[in-house]
Amino acid sequence: MSDNKVLIFDTTLRDGEQSPGATMTHDEKLEIAGMLDDMGVDIIEAGFPIASEGDFAAVSEIAKNSVNSRICGLARANFADIDRCWEAVKHAKQNRIHTFIGTSPLHRAIPNLTQDEMADKIHQTVTHARNLCDNVQWSPMDATRTEWDYLCRVIEIAIKAGATTINIPDTVGYTAPAESADLIKRLIETVPGADEVIFATHCHNDLGMATANSLAAVAGGARQIECTINGLGERAGNTALEEVVMALKTRHDIMPWTTGIDTTKIMAISRRVSTVSGFLVQPNKAIVGKNAFAHESGIHQDGMLKNRENFEIMRPEDVGLSGTSLPLGKHSGRAALRDKLEQLGFEVGDNQLKDIFVRFKELADRKKEVFDDDVVALVRADSGEDEDDRLQLVSMKVVCGTGGPAESTIEMEVDGKDVSATSEGDGPVDATFKAIRQIHPNTARLQLYQVSAVTEGTDAQATVSVRLEEDGVIATGQSANTDTVVASAKAYIHALNRLLVRRDKVGEGADAKEVSYKDLA
Ligand code: KIV
Ligand code: ZN
């Protein structure tokens, strides 16, 4: 590997998927892994194989289907975890076992181990992993709050036991850029054998410094960045892949490191991860936010027309945006729609195109111009509804009152049978959700209800995201419509359908999370 190459280790499917509510289905994980592989991600952390039968099946399948990426699985510091991880990743052409243990005083107290006992455990588990796999990553969790001497000692043990990558996690997002660079630099200078392994950086964004800390770590000598698409991850998330990759590309003059990422694939995967995880991307999010390349004010628009470099440091095309945004209208045909979808980074089969085209025509009848974001919302809505779903919305009628409650009448098909119900509520959405609950009684708790306008104007489509939780099982649903209440009903029903599928799987033991990576006892 050349000295200025930085490996990109994506953990969307492990650290990202672990964030509450971001659970993905087996097929969704496979699809995202395929996209990561295709865009040039060096290492994909595909999951935590011992966590559940579902995780194991997903990691094994991703390993079997991998093309260029190395497939990695996570394992705690015990033989059972490591064996299970190997069983899953061994199918890949290139594989990796990633094993970790919390080394800071706070984290050592969880399994109640002394420094010596933990050092011994690290020696045994890394040796065991290395006997199975010739590519082993070891992480001292909460490294940035671990005593310096102890951190050096355990890293040396891991290297001697055969670790090939040493990852330095800032588990709680505590460090700052200067400290991050300094820590990696001093570790490489101090720990015997450090020059024979790759140092990695794994940052969380609790103080909004994950990207800066990761880039600083590279300046300090790290040659692997751990990150997720859209910065998905627990609490404030992980380092965002798109941010570090575009920062290295755009400011190559002061950060002379390269990655193997095809940046034109960024927007497509960002949209897909947002859809399947149910986590909408904030409009002003760097690189992938809806406004990241929008120029609203007159002065900016004027400056852009004179020379785009006045206000643009990256070209939209470089991240996979079409650059032009010519709206479609009701006279646009199927070929124009397919063309637009391709420009937006979506590859759709003929059947899917047929479905999307029907929705597109319906939308174009209601809306004068159909913008790029409308088209994206159509694709998302299409992937959110399935004819096999047990619950289907047939029709709805809502009456809003100024002085009194709203009333919603819902007609649905439940397992093929027509059922209807009317309910009052505190506003049209509340009345609608209550009517749906009358038709399909459930105890699911609404964890998130989010509405965002896709484009401008009173005829704009609204995208609605709903996240439900029932007995520890979480499911998200999304829908888009020019009518916010219809989009809300569809998103709610979509989430209920996914909950039904997940509950069935948990019943079969397929998706239940048996252990958590924090469950260190
Ligand atoms: O944040 C963290 O410490 C982790 C480890 C498992 C590497 O995700
Ligand atoms: Zn993490």
| DSSP-derived secondary structure for 131-181 | HH-S-EEEEEETGGGS-HHHHHHHHHHHHHHT-SEEEEEETTS---HHHHH
Q: Is residue 517 part of a domain?
A: no
Q: How far is CA 10 from CA 201, 377, 427, 468, 469, in A?
A: 12, 26, 42, 27, 27
d(CA 222, CA 205): 18
* 432 and 365 fall within a common domain: no
Mean pLDDT of the 76-84 span: 98
Listed residue (159, 160, 169) closest to 198, CA to CA: 159
Highest mean predicted confidence (pLDDT) among 358-362, 383-387, 420-424? 420-424
Mean pLDDT of the 375-382 span: 74
Listed residue (2, 1, 7) closest to 248, CA to CA: 7
* Arithmetic mean of pLDDT over the chain: 89
Give the DSSP H/E element, type plus range, for residue 71. Answer: strand 70-76
* 212 and 316 fall within a common domain: no
d(CA 237, CA 509): 28
d(CA 288, CA 373): 13
Ligand 2 center from residue 339 Cα (angstroms): 39
d(CA 183, CA 408): 59
Ligand 1 center from residue 442 Cα (angstroms): 35
pLDDT of residue 333: 87
* 298 and 178 fall within a common domain: no
More confident residue, 328 or 97: 97
Read off the DSSP letter of residue 61.
H
Nearest CA to ligand 1 atom 8: 15
Listed residue (461, 239, 465) closest to 372, CA to CA: 461
Tokens matching residue 273: 């991860």
pLDDT of residue 402: 80
What percent of the chain clears pLDDT 90, i.e. is strictly above it? 65
What percent of the chain clears pLDDT 70, i.e. is strictly above it? 90
Residue 507: pLDDT over 60: no
The domain total for the chain is 4
Mean pLDDT of the 102-121 span: 96
pLDDT band, very low/low/confident/very high, at 382 (cuts 50, 70, 90): low
- Answer yes or no: are the C-beta atoms of 460 and 486 closer than 8 Å: no
pLDDT band, very low/low/confident/very high, at 512 (cuts 50, 70, 90): very low
Domain boundary among 367, 383, 399: 383
Residue 259: pLDDT over 60: yes
* 305 and 246 fall within a common domain: no
Ligand 1, atom nearest to 204 Cα: 1
Residue 520: pLDDT over 60: no
Domain that holds residue 456: 391-508
Residue 172: pLDDT over 60: yes
Mind listing the pLDDT tens digit for each residue in 471-505?
Answer: 877 787 888 888 999 999 999 998 898 888 766 65
Give the DSSP H/E element, type plus range, for residue 491. Answer: helix 484-507
Mind listing the pLDDT tens digit for each residue in 117-137?
Answer: 999 999 999 999 999 999 999
pLDDT band, very low/low/confident/very high, at 384 (cuts 50, 70, 90): low
Domain boundary among 383, 414, 433: 383
More confident residue, 512 or 506: 506
More confident residue, 373 or 179: 179
pLDDT of residue 385: 58
Residue 510: pLDDT over 50: no
Residue 137, ligand 1, Cβ within 6 A: no
DSSP 3-state of 325:
coil
* 95 and 200 fall within a common domain: yes
pLDDT of residue 21: 75
Give the DSSP H/E element, type plus range, for residue 9. Answer: strand 7-10
Mind listing the pLDDT tens digit for each residue in 141-152?
Answer: 999 999 999 999
* 252 and 192 fall within a common domain: yes
d(CA 469, CA 514): 17
Residue 103, ligand 1, Cβ within 6 A: no
Tokens matching residue 247: 């920062």
Q: Is residue 287 part of a domain?
A: no
Mean pLDDT of the 395-410 span: 91
Listed residue (99, 88, 101, 172) closest to 138, CA to CA: 99
* 42 and 88 fall within a common domain: yes
* 357 and 491 fall within a common domain: no
Tokens matching residue 348: 């759709």
Residue 357: pLDDT over 70: yes
Pocket mutation for ligand 1, best pick of 110, 171, 517 (most atoms within 8 Å of C-beta): 171
Residue 169, ligand 1, Cβ within 6 A: yes
Residue 173, ligand 1, Cβ within 6 A: no
Residue 94: pLDDT over 50: yes
Residue 100, ligand 1, Cβ within 6 A: yes
Residue 481, ligand 1, Cβ within 6 A: no
pLDDT band, very low/low/confident/very high, at 90 (cuts 50, 70, 90): very high
The radius of gyration of the chain from alpha carbons, rounded to an integer in Å, stands at 24
Q: How far is CA 457 from CA 111, 331, 454, 461, in A?
A: 56, 21, 10, 9
Q: Report helix, strand and coil shares of the chain as percent, to nearest 5.
A: 45, 20, 35
Ligand 2 center from residue 200 Cα (angstroms): 12
* Closest ligand relative to 48 C-alpha: 1
d(CA 74, CA 81): 8
Ligand 1 center from residue 169 Cα (angstroms): 6
CATH number at residue 185: 3.20.20.70
Bridge partners, residue 258, by sequence:
5
Ligand 1, atom nearest to 14 Cα: 8
Mean pLDDT of the 433-440 span: 96
Instruction: Write the single-letter amino acid at 500.
Output: L
431: Cβ–Cβ under 8 A, 6 or more apart, which residues? 398, 405, 406, 407, 408, 423, 424, 425
d(CA 122, CA 80): 14
Ligand 1, atom nearest to 167 Cα: 7
* 219 and 191 fall within a common domain: yes
225: Cβ–Cβ under 8 A, 6 or more apart, which residues? 6, 7, 8, 9, 200, 201, 214, 217, 218, 239, 244
Is residue 296 classed exposed, middle or buried when 0-12, 13-18 and 19+ CB atoms within 10 A define those classes?
Answer: exposed
Q: How far is CA 136 from CA 42, 63, 175, in A?
A: 15, 16, 25
Terminal-residue alpha carbon distance, the chain? 38
pLDDT band, very low/low/confident/very high, at 74 (cuts 50, 70, 90): very high
* Closest ligand relative to 73 C-alpha: 1
* 83 and 54 fall within a common domain: yes
* 268 and 347 fall within a common domain: no
Mind listing the pLDDT tens digit for each residue in 221-238?
Answer: 999 999 999 999 989 999
Residue 115: pLDDT over 50: yes
Nearest CA to ligand 1 atom 1: 171
Residue 76, ligand 1, Cβ within 6 A: no
Q: Is residue 269 part of a domain?
A: yes
d(CA 248, CA 519): 36
Pocket mutation for ligand 1, best pick of 17, 18, 139, 234 (most atoms within 8 Å of C-beta): 139
Q: Is residue 419 part of a domain?
A: yes
- Answer yes or no: are the C-beta atoms of 337 and 352 closer than 8 Å: no
* Closest ligand relative to 517 C-alpha: 1
* 269 and 134 fall within a common domain: yes
Q: Is residue 65 part of a domain?
A: yes
pLDDT of residue 498: 82
pLDDT band, very low/low/confident/very high, at 336 (cuts 50, 70, 90): confident
CATH number at residue 476: 3.30.160.270
Ligand 2 center from residue 499 Cα (angstroms): 27
Ligand 1 center from residue 520 Cα (angstroms): 13
Q: Is residue 81 part of a domain?
A: yes
DSSP 3-state of 70:
strand
Q: Is residue 447 part of a domain?
A: yes
Per-residue exposure over 416-425, b if at least 16 CB sit within 10 Å of its own CB, e if not: eeeeebebeb
pLDDT band, very low/low/confident/very high, at 305 (cuts 50, 70, 90): low
What is the phi-psi region of residue 72: left when phi exceeds 0, alpha when psi lies from -120 to 50, beta otherwise?
beta
More confident residue, 311 or 488: 488
pLDDT of residue 79: 98
Q: Is residue 513 part of a domain?
A: no
d(CA 492, CA 392): 11
pLDDT band, very low/low/confident/very high, at 104 (cuts 50, 70, 90): very high
Ligand 1 center from residue 238 Cα (angstroms): 10
